[in-house]
Amino acid sequence: MTFTVLNAFTRDLLEGRMPGWVEPHFFSSTEELYELAPQAEIAWFDSYELDSTYEATRRAGKLKWLNTLAAGVDPFPLDLLRQRDVTLTNGAGLNAITIAEYAVMGMLVIAKGYREVVRSQERREWLHEAPGKMELFGSKALIVGAGGIGGRIGELLRPWGVEVTGVRRNPAPGVLTMEDWRGRLGDFDWVIVAVPSTPDTEKMMGADEFAAMKPGASVLNFARGAVIDQEALMAALRSGQVGSAFLDVTDPEPLPSDDPLWGFDNVHITSHLSGRSQNTLFARAAERFLENLERYERGEALVSRVDLSLGY
């Protein structure tokens, strides 16, 4: 029997569906998690107290496979997992549908000036002129990080008539590489960021990148707040070089109430809600976990395995 540690929130989704060789142990508190972690061979430590998830990982000396529904794994002790030869699987792609829908919503909010439409209703004022007249049709979008989430954003945008160009680490037809996308920034009306959070992507959108963008273009960030240099972004917004920003993520989070970013009328801050704007995340994560249990038993490669040296 394989000692497996799982959060109690997965019980209804997994109990009775796991193979007989799995010995499940469900935790419902941090104390129970810490007690069970050292015995785990397979674990899904995700907890509402994030720090306990990472601490349990450090305590799990017998661990062979760790699963998380999070897409970003930068807070995990990746060096320790690599030293222990632990396989880490993440939730890459589980949020792709809802984040992609959020991205389209953000673009429409900007294009149609929808913030002013909402405000007019709050004032009970009938508008006689549309506050936003841009159409998505015929516009051009650059998706920096065209993986699971970015790729899905592109799939949704193309039927709207948006010309989509992706950026990925690995070369592919019609895709820019991480080395040459900066030289094309001036071609696009929308720059959508969906890259993994790694040391290489920290502040990858800074003063030089904003200066290279098409004047008045918009930037949307669904990666991590640290991927964008917020001071440089605010300077570009003040000058008008960047027309608008739709930020699902900020640095830090939560964004302090006195942060000047809140005061920009052309910035939309959505409190990292895009991935949580669904009720199917846990069910999707459970189905993937069950599939990976079968693969684990057969000695096959697991779905969404993280490259611990790259961090995604």
221-233, pLDDT tens digit by residue?
Answer: 999 999 999 999 9
Q: Which residue range(s) make up the domain with 144?
A: 96-274
| Domain annotation covers residue 303 | no
Contact predicate 74/226, CB 8 Å: no
pLDDT at residue 254, rounded to an integer = 97
Verify that 83 and 6 share a domain, yes or no: yes
pLDDT at residue 194, rounded to an integer = 97
Residue 259 pLDDT class (50, 70, 90 cuts)? very high
Verify that 39 and 162 share a domain, yes or no: no
| Domain annotation covers residue 308 | no
Q: How many domains does the chain have?
A: 2
Token couple for 5? 């540690």
- Provide, rounded to the nearest whole percent, the portion of the chain with pLDDT above 70: 100
On the question of pLDDT at 152 being above 90, the answer is yes
Angle 279-281-287 from CA coordinates, rounded to 5°: 125
- Determine how β-strand 22-27 pairs with β-strand 217-221: unpaired
pLDDT at residue 290, rounded to an integer = 98
Q: What is the CATH number for 71?
A: 3.40.50.720
* Residue given tokens 């809140």 in the structure block: 262
Sheet holding 42-44, edge to edge: 22-27, 2-7, 42-44, 65-67, 87-89
Q: Where are the beta strands (DSSP E) in the chain?
A: 2-7, 22-27, 42-44, 65-67, 87-89, 140-144, 163-168, 175-177, 190-193, 217-221, 242-247, 267-269
Mean pLDDT (the chain, rounded) = 97
| Domain annotation covers residue 162 | yes
| Domain annotation covers residue 249 | yes
SS3 category, 115: helix
| Domain annotation covers residue 311 | no
Contact predicate 305/82, CB 8 Å: no
On the question of pLDDT at 174 being above 90, the answer is no
* Residue given tokens 């069950």 in the structure block: 290
Which residues are paired to 193 by β-bridges? 144, 221
pLDDT at residue 50, rounded to an integer = 87
On the question of pLDDT at 168 being above 90, the answer is yes
Verify that 87 and 103 share a domain, yes or no: no
3-class secondary structure for 133-158? CCCCCCCEEEEECCCHHHHHHHHHHH
Residue 48 CA to residue 276 CA, distance in Å, equals 13
**Taking residues 294-308, what's their average pLDDT?**
97
For 193-208, write each residue's pLDDT tens digit: 999 988 999 999 999 9
| Domain annotation covers residue 105 | yes
**Taking residues 176-191, what's their average pLDDT?**
97
| Domain annotation covers residue 304 | no
Contact predicate 65/26, CB 8 Å: no
Contact predicate 244/268, CB 8 Å: yes
Verify that 142 and 59 share a domain, yes or no: no
**Taking residues 271-287, what's their average pLDDT?**
95
Verify that 106 and 175 share a domain, yes or no: yes
Residue 171 pLDDT class (50, 70, 90 cuts)? confident
**Taking residues 13-23, what's their average pLDDT?**
97
Verify that 174 and 289 share a domain, yes or no: no
Contacts of 195 (CB under 8 A, 6+ apart): 144, 145, 150, 201, 204, 223, 227
- Provide, rounded to the nearest whole percent, the portion of the chain with pLDDT above 90: 95
Contact predicate 57/79, CB 8 Å: no
On the question of pLDDT at 173 being above 90, the answer is no
Residue 158 pLDDT class (50, 70, 90 cuts)? very high
Verify that 161 and 204 share a domain, yes or no: yes
| Domain annotation covers residue 126 | yes
Verify that 42 and 152 share a domain, yes or no: no
Q: What is the CA radius of gyration of the chain?
A: 22
Verify that 101 and 89 share a domain, yes or no: no
pLDDT at residue 48, rounded to an integer = 84
Q: Taking the complete model, does pTM exceed 0.75, yes or no? A: yes
**Taking residues 207-212, what's their average pLDDT?**
98
Verify that 241 and 169 share a domain, yes or no: yes
**Taking residues 55-80, what's their average pLDDT?**
96
Verify that 70 and 145 share a domain, yes or no: no
Contacts of 194 (CB under 8 A, 6+ apart): 99, 143, 144, 145, 146, 147, 149, 150, 153, 222, 223
**Taking residues 114-128, what's their average pLDDT?**
98
- Buried/exposed 45-77: b ≥16 CB within 10 Å, e otherwise: bbbeeeebbebbbeebeebebbbbbbbbbbebe
Residue 151 pLDDT class (50, 70, 90 cuts)? very high
SS3 category, 169: coil
Nearest to 304 by CA among 82, 91, 66: 91
Verify that 65 and 140 share a domain, yes or no: no
pLDDT at residue 121, rounded to an integer = 98
